[in-house]
Structure 1
Amino acid sequence: MFDLDALRQAAELVHQSIPPTPQHAWPLLARRLGCQVWVKHENHTPAGAFKVRGGLVYIQELIKREPRLPGLITATRGNHGISLAMAARDAGLQLRILVPEGNSTEKNAAMRACGAEVIEYGRDFDTARLRAAQLAKTDGWHFVPSLHPDLIKGVATYALELLEAVPDLRRVYVPIGLGSGICGMIRTRDLLGLDTEIIGVVSSAADAYAQSVEQGRIVCTETADTFADGMACRMPAPEALEIIRTGAARILRVDDAAIRHAIVALHEDTHNLAEGAGAAALAAAMQDRERNRGKRIAVVLSGANIDREVLAAILTGKPAVADQSRSNPETAHSAPAAH
């Protein structure tokens, strides 16, 4: 893992392309939860999510190792692909992204807008990922995984911004997909020598990481049926699980109803948009209301890339839209060891 100097260097690299995102303490959220609540606004990046940081660092480090790359290929359901598309565009590299059939049209459009070739293939992420790996071997292109030390180092720069800007936080709530975000937060907390508790948040319908921590071994689930596709993890990555197991204070489960409620709360109290995974940290903090009373806490709003129809249904209280329930690329991989 990286040290503090390497993390600061990564932050300098990231800030050449995107400014630090804000963290705000919102009075209405404080009244709602009975404590001071700081929100880390990763929804304010140009990619609409925290993962853009990892893509920038990963590709810069990759170019140092392999300066004559013919191109990159990956599989995704959204934010991982948007991150890589922006970084590849800036580096002048070709990028091919495989997504499952029926993937979010808005996320697909964002990737294409950055110059990536987006190919819909297969019924789910696993099918798309296997096809991407095959194409990488056939074409000699570099296959980009969804979890890698350079990706963790890149996204950890958001944790550095938050923890240095807001001292004396009692705890921070972080959503867990495949794990880069929470691993970066844990590592940064430790490098800064802080005693802040880090609480991981999973969907109750995709709780592979929670089960794995509880049982002390990798536990995979058959399904991950949550509209919060950024947390739709069926198969934990061993390297991420070890960091989470030793560094997180607790793992909390939140259901889709609680996540929808948190999306509405963020809209009403802060006028910010959140995708499912982006609102999960607040949902967990609301669940922890009594524990947090009078404390100083933070929640990570990890992204805002939610399709308009899904958001409209949530804000108007209509029946849930189920078109984001398939497993996520960054999470539902079938070969964790390949990372």
Structure 2
Amino acid sequence: MSQSDALDRLNSAAEIVYSVMAPTPQYAWPLLGERVGAEVWVKHENHTPAGAFKIRGGSVYVDHLRRTRPDVTGVIAATRGNHGQSVAIAARRAGLSATVVVPEGNSVEKNAAMQAWGGELLVHGRDFQESFEYAQGLAEERGLHMFASFHDRLVDGVATYGMELFKAAPDLEAVFVPIGLGSGICAVMAARDAVGSKAEVWGVVSETAPAYALSFEAGHPVSTNAASAPTIADGVDCRVPNAAAFERIKAGAAGIIKVSDDEIKDAMRAYYTDTHNIAEGAGAVPLAGLMQVRERWQGRKVGVILSGGNVDMDVYREVLAGAS
């Protein structure tokens, strides 16, 4: 696909997204810059109607589904929360039913939000992968459309935040993005290429959910066993990489950084003290990655994706209380 065609495709996705929400802001916060030693632009996807970036992809996906599969009356998805909100919101707007499957111990407040948007909530499995496999079986049993967790239309929708960021800060030298199943980083790379940016794109994962980092090192998809200790960054808790997403990441990413829960918590606190924004664990993962490698980026201009702010109150209270 030519650069012109890619840009046209993303502009078409943007028309759909902006019928649901306004563009989100991006700011270069001075205190955050002092902390890192660089000019740090934050893309505030915590400012969407769902509190996270997923609403963009879900809106574009459902628009495509309604045009290509008018027979579909209901959808089902597996989620840790933000994708489920996106599914419920987009389905309601399109007049479809929405069922979302979450693992045991999932975020109480994300569960409540999905239900508030009209989703039927089902709890099954120890982690996202088990929920996903259960949802696939229910889709066939109930005659529901299995809402993809990675799909070209999802990437198109999510890429609209990348376009917004690159247009506002066209000379970024790098952007740090969290990796869950891969739509976010693939979208940022698609936006970068469509607008002609030269920025490096770095993925960041939790060290307790390192499947994509291990895959990047090996050059092929590598699955991991269920995490023995869950990460605070539930939105990146993936153990089976999506093959299509991995191929794009392998071809277009500069690398993948692994961060600890302690580093993620430090980044969550930094967002609060330096910008007074709330970041959920996955939303703070990119900043944690940048802070880990800050020496390389001294005096340079970089971006971080604050992908969501949907953190349970008790979890966030403990994170803030842990400040040294």
Same structural fold, with TM-score higher than 0.5 when normalized by the shorter chain: yes
CA drift of 1:127 comes to 3.2
TM-score normalised according to structure 1 size: 0.91
CA drift of 1:177 comes to 0.7
CA drift of 1:131 comes to 2.5
Q: Confirm or deny that 1:22 pairs with 2:21.
A: no
1:152 matched to which residue of 2?
A: 155
CA drift of 1:139 comes to 2.0
Identity across the alignment (%) = 54
Secondary structure, aligned partner of 2:150: coil
Using the alignment, how far apart are the partners of 2:103 and 2:206 within structure 1?
A: 21
CA drift of 1:206 comes to 1.2
1:314 matched to which residue of 2?
A: 319
2:307 matched to which residue of 1?
A: 302
Using the alignment, how far apart are the partners of 2:182 and 2:208 within structure 1?
A: 17
Contact 2:177 2:201 in 1 (8 A): yes
Choose 137-146 or 253-262, whichever is displaced more: 137-146
Post-superposition, which runs of at least 4 consecutive aligned residues in structure 1 deviate over 4 A? none
Using the alignment, how far apart are the partners of 2:136 and 2:175 within structure 1?
A: 36
The one-letter amino acid of 2:316's match is L
The 5-angstrom pairing of residues 184-195 of structure 1 reads: 184-195=187-198
From 218, 223, 233, the equivalent of 2:221 is 218
1:44-73: per-residue Cα shift (whole Å, max 9, x none)?
001111111010000000000111312111
The 5-angstrom pairing of residues 105-120 of structure 1 reads: 105-120=108-123
2:283 matched to which residue of 1?
A: 278
Q: Confirm or deny that 1:163 pairs with 2:166.
A: yes
TM-score normalised according to structure 2 size: 0.95
1:137-184: per-residue Cα shift (whole Å, max 9, x none)?
122111112111111111111101100111110111111111000001
Q: Confirm or deny that 1:257 pairs with 2:247.
A: no
Unpaired runs of 5+ residues, structure 1, are 319-339
From 39, 42, 47, the equivalent of 1:44 is 47
2:244 matched to which residue of 1?
A: 239
Paired residues in the alignment total 319
1:136 matched to which residue of 2?
A: 139
Using the alignment, how far apart are the partners of 2:130 and 2:267 within structure 1?
A: 32
Using the alignment, how far apart are the partners of 1:95 and 1:307 within structure 2?
A: 23
Q: How much is the aligned-residue C-alpha RMSD, in angstroms?
A: 1.5
1:242-262: per-residue Cα shift (whole Å, max 9, x none)?
111111112111111000000
1:53-98: per-residue Cα shift (whole Å, max 9, x none)?
0100000000001113121111111111011111111111111111
Using the alignment, how far apart are the partners of 1:164 and 1:266 within structure 2?
A: 23
